[in-house]
Structure formats: structure tokens, C-alpha cells
Structure 1
């Protein structure tokens, strides 16, 4: 998933409870004897420490799966040859291997599981102790292999489920995009044609002035909107093959955007700080759309006379700042849907967006988008 902020990757209270439950199970299987009557067995301090470390590590199994697997492996390899009585400490390694494989680290799980098998085989067949026997060795290998295999299967199943969800979401977006293409493409084309006809009529009659300038702005804006719409959605519909298409807009086209706003009567100043890096297409488009939406909000609601657009290229992110001298947040009568859309666009790329009144009057929108987003 975008950002890799998956619930699987982060420990939860459930992991703490699992660690506590596993620790209790390990302690009971180690301390409680099997005689009749049942007697408690004495465990040296080192054994208690190893049980505590191995069980406690499971609380971090999803945050640091490799480290937890190594810790439980080392604890087991130290415990069994050196500590008497035996217990079920090996279950901590089994859980850790399952977690590692379920997190998609199948190779690491296989290597660590293989080391556990080699160490157990050496203790069984390379010394005179032979604590497990052939049946015990077979069970040990089976448990370790099963832990890795089941974890890998769960990872594959989860990935397939996530892919299916993404595919359904994409299909729904495409369906909506097709509807938008049909509706908006038709209406914008009508606006463009009608504006052109009205402008032609004014020119034929020799009329000029604000009306002609407004019609020119409408014609140019509708043509640009139609071009972007076809460039974005035309491929989905495979229509209008002869119609000119354009790549997705980006910050390089801010001068055009500012000029259209000026034609609509809004004074727009554009400035840039820093050297522009090669932005990913997702970041470039998001930055452009945020400026576009902010200017639209100013034109619709703010009653502003001047807008300052500043693009700052920092070390890690690009900053988009749009400030106006209008009426402030109280003028946003749309309930903030435009701001919510801009914020969603920024957060989808791991960035942030703030929108608030300026102390000196007016309104300000500031977005920060990390360079690597959408790569």
C-alpha cells in the first residue's frame, strides 16, 4: 500500500498480549513438572532471563520481524544446551518465523529456520547427548518448516486480497472517469463553441471591451479544460482519436494558470524559491492541482484582489503556498469541500496541507509534498 503504512507492519496491543501469553506458557511448561504429585522445578537465573527476552521480543514481532526472529533463535540455541529443565521456549522461535514469513520476508525466515535446524541437528547427531531422538528431530523440523510455509501462504493470500481490492477500486474509478468524460466533455465543448460564436459576433459588429475579454478568457479556459480532460480520460474511452491530447499538467504550466486567473480579473503573483528538481509525475500533478483549486476557491469565495503563489523547493519536499487578501475562511461557503479535496490529495502522497486565515487578513493554503511520493 501507498506509504507502506499497513497494520501488519506495526505492533499492536495484541502483540503484547501474545508475548505475555506465550511467556506464561513457556514458564508453565518449564517450571511445572510431570510427576505425581506435580512438583515445581527449579530454573536458574539465566533460564529465566532467556525466557523473558525471547517471550518479550514477540511484543515487537511485526515492527522488527527480523530482529525478533534472530533474538528468539539465539535465546533458543543458548537455552537448550545449557539450561535444565527444558521447556517450550522453542515456540517463541516458531511464532517469530511465522511472523517473518507473513511479513513477506520468506528468504530471511528460511535462513533463520535453516540455522535452527542445523544447530539442532548438530546437538542431536554431533554430540553424545541426543536429547531429541529421531522422532523429536522430525517434529522440530516439521514445526519450523510449517511455520515458514504457513506464514508465506498468509502473506500471499493477503497480497491477493489487497490486489483484488485495488483492482475493484480502479475499475470503479475508471467507471466514474468514463461518466465524467461523457458529461463534462459534452458540456465544456458546448461552452467553448458558444463562447467562440459570441466572440465572433462581437468581432463582426466591431464591439470590444470587457465583454470580449471575458469571452476570450472563457473560450481559452474551456479549451484548456477540454484538452486536459481528453488527455486524462480520453485513453480510457478510446474516443476522439484525432483530438489533440496533452500530458498531465504540472508546475511548469503555472504561468498559464496564473494568466487565466488574471484574465478573470484576479491579480496573481507567482514566485519560486530554490532549484526545481525532477519531480515525480504524481507530485508535479498534485502541486499543480492544489494551486488550481486554491485559485478557484479565491475566485469563487474570497473576494480577493491579489493572490501570491509561492513554490518552494526544499531538501526533502516541495512547498506550495497560496495566499490571498480576501475575506478569509468565513467566505468559504462551500463547506470546505475544496480544501478537503486538496488535503486528501496531499495526504495521499504522504504530505500535509494547512488552510487558515492570515493574521494580516485573507486566507492561506500551504501544502508540503515529499519528493519521493508516487515514485
Structure 2
């Protein structure tokens, strides 16, 4: 949004209703003020009542439309102000307020800035010329304000003239200045809102892209870890069917079923990869990963070298894990320790626990860092990636600040499928 092309939006129906209410209240105030001025005899020969009533309406009623048509309203009220003063309508308080509001509104709500400046310039110049003409006429008329001394540079009459000029300059200058200030404030607010919306959209796009890229990485890892073993199962089952001699019919049928199941699994795996990649072009490396829970100590050592003390504990009797589960736990630990280095702050320590339970394997990474403050600063994209990895192998992920301080990442994965995959891999290795 270019600042020189910005146009302030008109207020809604509620704004127009407030303008109408303000104009009505100002009209009542102007009428009461006119009666008070008339009562104290402000003018020796005031305007008739009907003219005063028209002046009251002309000075205030147009303000109901001041933000809809600011330039037209300002011209109309300026003319009404001139007429009311020339014909001695007994009112000087609310009429000045109405004129100030009209000029201010042109500056604050004018949609065309050049037109707004021209309109205000014409009105202010005309009013100042009118003031100067009245001052000249007053100074030239010996019967005007006879009680005021005219002798000397700073006579009473000269002092009155200076006060009148300064007062009008401040009056019109204030209306011009505050109108421009209101317009600039509205423009800055609109620009800030637009930038905030753009940044929010950009964050959402980046989050979607990050999730898509992480899905792509998961797809590659699924292929690297699982596809090889499933393909070997199919090849070996087919070979066994051809050479097995004992109970050939039953063995052939059973092995044929294994072969068919293995090939079906490979087909389903490829369909899963296609879904996860969402037609993205895979230009990354196709090499299989060899990382797993056996490398947790190596990962911890790298973190120690980076300046964060880390301890590693293995609790329970280790059991064989499938390559996919082992690799997933390694990636969760890697991401958790990375977040510890980035967000936990100086002096923080981390504790990695790999816990083998009868029915599940659990990885827990806890630190003593800033906890909630770190959670507020992070983008959350790493957590999205960890959660998708764990869910992909049937597990659950828990992340968040600890009640006693620090941050906790806990991944829990059932052992049933992991044991099955690990046993089959060892059998056919």
C-alpha cells in the first residue's frame, strides 16, 4: 500500500449516526447560546428571530454529513458563519466550534489530499481577509469602539487588533494542523494493519511450506527405512516358493500370500509417498539414513561441544526397535536438543532419557531453561515436524513447559509394531 495513494475509508453506519447525534446536540447548544447572547444584549440591533433560527440550522445541521462530504460541508458552514456574523446573529461560541469542526474534518477525512488542502486554503484565506477588512474598517471609523484609545503604536485599539489577528491565526492554524495530524494517524494505523496482515499471511504460508517440506522429508525417510526391507521380503518369499520341498502345495500357497502381501505393502507405501509429497519435485538425496537411538550419546556429545551440558540415561532392558522407530526417536531428540540450545538460555542443562517399558519405548528430553518464555518465542514449526514423525509410527508426543521450570519433550511409541518390524528385518538380513 503506497502512502501517497492511501485513501481513508468512510465510517460505517454507526459513525454516521454519531455524526448526526453530534450535529443535533450542537444545534441545541447553538440555539441556547443564541438566546443567552440576545438576552445580554450583545448586539444593539441583532438579527431577527427567523434569521437567527436559519443561522443556527445552517451552522450545525450540515455537520451530520461532515465525514460523508467534508469539503461541501466546510464550504456551506463557512458561508453560514459569514452570513450570521455580517447580519449580527447573536451567537459567537458554538458557531466558532462548528466552523472549526468543519475545517478539521476536511483535513482528517478528505479523500483527495490536494482538494482538501485547496478547500481549507480558500476558506482560511477568505476568513482572514474578512477579519483584516473588518479591522481596517474599525480603525478607520472614529465612531467605532469610542472608548478605546487610538494614540501610539500599541494603543488600546492596536492591541485589540493584534489579539484578533493572533487569535484567528491560532484558530485556523489549529484546525488545519489537527486535521492533518488525525489523517496521518489514521494512515499510519491502516498501513500498520496492512503490514500486520501481510506478515500474518506470510507466516501462514511459511508454516504450510514448512509442514509440506517436513512431510517430504518423512516420505523420503519412510522410503529409505521401510521400502528396502519390504522389497527383500517379496524377493525372498518368491524364491522360497520355488525351492521349498516340504509340503510344496501348502508352502507354495503360504509363500505366495507373503509375496503378494509384501508387494501390496510396497504399492501402498508408494501411494503414501505420493500423498505426502503432494506432487512436490523430490530433488533431495535418496540415501538411506543410518541414524537411530544408538547415536543418542553421539548427539549429546555434539550438544556438549556447543556449550550445553547433556546427560543420557537408558532405563530398562533395551529391545530391538524397527529402523523407522529408532530413527524417529533420534530425530525427536535432535530437534529437542536444538531447541534447548536456541531457546533455553545460558546456563541451561538437558537430560535425555530413553525408557524401555513392557509395551512401549519412551524418549524424554528435559531442560532447565526458560520454559514458557522459550515457548512463546519459538515459531512452533519444529514441534509440528516432531509430532508428525511420531504420529506416523503410531506414537504420541507431549511438549510444553514444566511446572518446576524448563521445557519437556516426551515421545511415546508402542512396541508391538516395532518388535514385528525388527524381528522380520533380522530374519531376512
TM-score interval, smaller chain = 0.3 to 0.5
TM-score (norm 2): 0.41
Q: Which has the larger radius of gyration?
A: 2
